[in-house]
Amino acid sequence: MEAPKYLGDHAILTPERPAVINANSGETLTYRELDERSNRFAQYLHAHGLRRGDRFAMFLENNIRCFEICWAALRSGLLVVPINRFLTAGEVAYIVEDSNSKLIVSSWAMRETAKDLPPLIPNCTQHLMVDGALDGWTRFEDAVADFPAERLADEWLGATMMYSSGTTGRPKGVLRALPQVKINEYAAVSPMVTLLGYTGDSVYLSTAPLYHAAPMGFALNLHYLGATVVFMEKFDELQALANIERYRITHSQWVPTMFVRLLKLPAEDRQRYDLSSHRSAVHAAAPCPVEIKRQMIDWWGPIINEYYGGSEGNGATALNSEEWLAHPGSVGKPLIGTLHICDDEGNELPAGEKGLVYFGSEQPAFQYHNDTEKTRSSQHPRNPNWSAIGDIGYVDEDGFLYLTDRKSFMIISGGVNIYPQAIENELILHPSVADVAVIGVPNAEMGEEVKAVVELVPGAQASDDLAKALIEFLNGKIGRYMMPRSVDFTDQLPRLPTGKLYKQQLRERYWPKQA
């Protein structure tokens, strides 16, 4: 049997093939260059005492250096901790310290936050900065320049250590068992990548932040295949279409808010570019409204695939366009793990009944770093090998999963459970709505009442009349008990480019602080 290939192999087999392209600038790293640069940083890390299982942090914008930094970890047996670029210095420091990171890499673009970090991370003593330097930071390029571009003697398999998005509290580090194998002995291509038909000839467009689990995970998997990754520094809907034409993109990844923005483009912009090379577009990260997805399939054809899974990696489902058209609104059948829908006591529920979504595996799939209580609470009451990440859903008679909302987002009004997702999926279809969040706010009689917080499309004007029109728009589309009592307008919802919405931050505007 042929040994699995990885970056080092492709650097020999196809040294001049582009491994990474910055879609904005055109800057390119070939497989040879990515191999050499990641080797230099791996040598640096080893020389500075980092050994298998140790961690270091990466606090960067979408920068081409992200790939060599991650590959240095993968070929050193280390865990790289990617950190959300939009966090404050205090929030970044919490993750650096909580993860026990011994080193941090940031960049000149992140300098306004990075300048405040050194005194906040006393246990992380090495600070490297890409593209420049500040007091307390060493220039990354200078630090690694004198180290050889050869492989380490022992290239243990490393990994990423992702932190949950923290949409309802402090982010938690997700730890999964690290196989004790050398990187060239490990078949690292995920079943998802195989299912979606990626090959060494694929040209993959990454539209989302590289600190997020899925974009970086897909990119690194594609490097095992010898494919080309094209990344955007920041998502722009028109530029994304232009990139498909310019780079002859074959595969791509999106989140539903990007679909909404694409569909709200003028018809002439949507039809301007040649998308004929595009064979597969995958989306995840957040539920996609049925009508939005139907419109995307009508536009792009049956090339749209969907998967569901969390950073925890405890399980996943997937389905293609044909399966979705037969089961609209579904996120698919299990691809990784066994699927179980359970009530609050852990009893399995029949098809059609909503409950907590668990995935089962042969052993506990993950743990939350430094939080045994949260780890245990994610596990089934009677079977610790079943785990849940807080999603509510049901399966149909054919075994397809449908998500109804996050358990933590549920509104309880007068003792009735209301799931905001169903309301949001309808409101986003209004032509004046660019984005929407539905939350529960205090009500003296009912405990909570439903409020919609709306971000308008350019040119639309907030008004009492529009608020009433939005509520009227929902007539006949949702149950009366789910109707928002009020609509507020905001310039921008606290949503990250990953598609995640920080509802806790939104709720804090309306709920009194606890003493």
Query: How would you class 464 by CB atoms within 10 Å of its CB: exposed for 0-12, middle for 13-18, buried for 19 or more?
Result: exposed
Lookup: tokens for 367: 């743990």
Class of the 411-507 domain? alpha beta
- The residues facing 442 across adjacent strands are 448
| pLDDT for residue 515 | 37
Burial letters for 140-178: b for 16+ Cβ neighbours within 10 Å, e otherwise? Answer: bbebbeebeeebbeebbbbbbbbbbbbbbeebbbbbbeb
Query: How would you class 70 by CB atoms within 10 Å of its CB: exposed for 0-12, middle for 13-18, buried for 19 or more?
Result: buried
Rounded CA-CA distance 110/41 in Å is 20
Q: Is the dihedral of CA 460, 463, 467, 469 positive or negative?
A: negative
Rounded CA-CA distance 200/13 in Å is 11
| pLDDT for residue 498 | 65
| pLDDT for residue 60 | 97
Q: Is the dihedral of CA 243, 251, 214, 80 positive or negative?
A: negative
DSSP label at residue 124: -
pLDDT tens across the length of the chain (515 residues): 355 688 999 999 999 999 999 999 999 999 999 999 999 999 999 999 999 999 999 999 999 999 999 999 999 999 999 998 988 999 999 999 999 999 999 999 999 999 999 999 999 999 999 999 999 999 999 999 999 999 999 999 999 999 976 555 678 899 888 888 999 887 667 788 888 889 999 999 999 999 988 899 999 999 999 999 999 999 999 999 999 999 999 999 998 889 989 999 999 999 999 999 999 999 987 778 899 999 999 999 999 999 998 888 889 999 999 999 999 999 999 998 999 999 989 999 999 999 999 999 887 778 989 888 888 888 999 998 999 988 889 999 999 999 887 777 778 787 677 878 889 989 999 999 999 999 988 887 777 899 999 999 999 999 999 999 999 999 988 888 889 999 999 999 988 666 677 777 888 888 776 43
| pLDDT for residue 44 | 98
Ordered alpha helix ranges (H), 367-479: 372-377, 420-427, 464-473
| pLDDT for residue 15 | 97
Q: Where exactly are the structural domains of the chain?
A: 31-163+181-188, 338-409, 411-507
Contact 327, 396 (CB under 8 A): yes
Instruction: Write down the CATH number for the domain with range 338-409.
Output: 2.30.38.10
- 31-163+181-188 architecture in CATH? 3-Layer(aba) Sandwich (3.40)
Rounded CA-CA distance 387/488 in Å is 36
Nearest to 386 by CA among 353, 363, 368, 352: 363
| pLDDT for residue 188 | 66
Query: How would you class 468 by CB atoms within 10 Å of its CB: exposed for 0-12, middle for 13-18, buried for 19 or more?
Result: exposed
| pLDDT for residue 223 | 95
Tokens 């909580």, residue located: 98
Domains 31-163+181-188 and 411-507 agree in fold: no
